[in-house]
Amino acid sequence: ALYLGAVSCRNGHPGLREFRGWAYAHRGLHDNETDAPENSMAAFRAALEASYGIELDIQLSSDKVPMVFHDADLMRICGVEGKIWDYTCAQLQEMKLFDTEETIPTLAEALELIDGQVPILVEYKMDKVDTDVCAYSHELLKDYEGPYAVQSFHPFALFWYRQNAKDIPRGILAKNFIRDNKEKGEKSDIIDFLTTNLMLNVLGYPDFIAFDWRDADYFSLKLCRLMGAPTSTWTLKDPAHYEEVKGEFDLYTFEGFPMQ
């Protein structure tokens, strides 16, 4: 009974109807070898033109501006030392993405471009555990008129929404962390066990579960699905992967191939 209570979800959020039937372009319809790199305005424009929903990542600059960027570290994408929260918004917007002319967008700029044309999955990155990213982003999102849902690997982000903006659809991101750690030769801890088995749902009480596509048969996911929770999967990178899990999930996030 305690386990069922811990993994339970808030089922039946009416807003999730608007998200079904869309394929979601991971970090926009991007290709890091072209002029439309991940989480760029060009990638978002490409997704809009192809009529795909958009998944994007949010972190805060040092001056508390919500920025659209995935990594905590700037080196892979911008070739710059340091973390994204070490720099101001103005400094970050001078940095180029993968040697293109694209720069790091603000959430405000992305929302202005998308303008309700397609649904958005907003992922809060919390490598630095600070729910200010939720608070400052919500100040922008609360006036946005298009459909959006929030999601995060960190249950504190969902807990913030449960306490402060409970009507917004929220989802927990998860995967088999224990398997991944084993593959990397690392040991798992109690947090890996709890998150893999969705036992921290008790904090955020999510509206949907977003699980790694490779774990479509994982027990905790199947249990939540059995209890009526909508499910999402990420990130499909090959048509064969989609065919493998087609029909298993309600929402699909993809990259690297034209999703049908």
260 pLDDT band, cuts 50/70/90, is confident
- Alpha helices, DSSP H, located in the chain: 2-7, 41-49, 75-78, 89-92, 107-114, 132-141, 155-164, 177-183, 190-196, 201-204, 219-226, 239-245
Q: What is the pLDDT of residues 232-252, one digit of tens each?
A: 999 999 999 999 999 999 999
Q: Which residue has the tokens 């991940």?
A: 38
Two tokens, residue 244: 């493998």
Q: What is the pLDDT of residues 117-163, one digit of tens each?
A: 999 999 999 998 899 999 999 999 999 999 999 999 999 999 999 99
pTM, full prediction:
0.96
Quote the CA–CA distance of 43 and 30 in Å, as a whole number.
5
Backbone angles phi, psi at 57, to 5 degrees: -115, 145
